[in-house]
Amino acid sequence: MSDMTKTKVFSSEDMRREMIRTNLETVIQALNERGYNAVHQIAGYLISNDPAYISSHKNARNIIQQIERDEIIEELVKSYLEKK
């Protein structure tokens, strides 16, 4: 059992990264369910800033717009470089 008297520290950077990851996973799932190529659709959105690239299925369009495009791109690049 954890000690509830101790303060738990959360990194805002970790929380931001987790939110981006979770939101992208939700959007990818919604796009896949509609038969879209999620990579192409998300790339189109990130390049053009046109939300029409993202289906409104399961509120995916609103979910992806909760995060600034530059933050998504930054996180994708960081994730790619960390895995190399």
Per-residue confidence in pLDDT tens, the chain, 84 aa: 556 788 777 788 889 999 999 999 999 999 999 999 999 999 999 999 999 999 999 999 999 999 999 999 999 999 999 997
Nearest alpha-carbon partner for 35 in 55, 49, 50, 10: 55
Q: What count of other Cβ atoms lies within 10 Å of the Cβ of residue 27?
A: 25
Write the Ramachandran bin of 59: left for phi over 0, alpha for psi from -120 to 50, otherwise beta.
left
Q: What is d(CA 1, CA 27) in angstroms, rounded to the nearest whole number?
A: 36
Q: What residue spans define the domains of the chain? A: 12-83
Q: How long a stretch of residues is the chain? A: 84
Q: Are 39 and 82 in contact (CB under 8 A)?
A: no
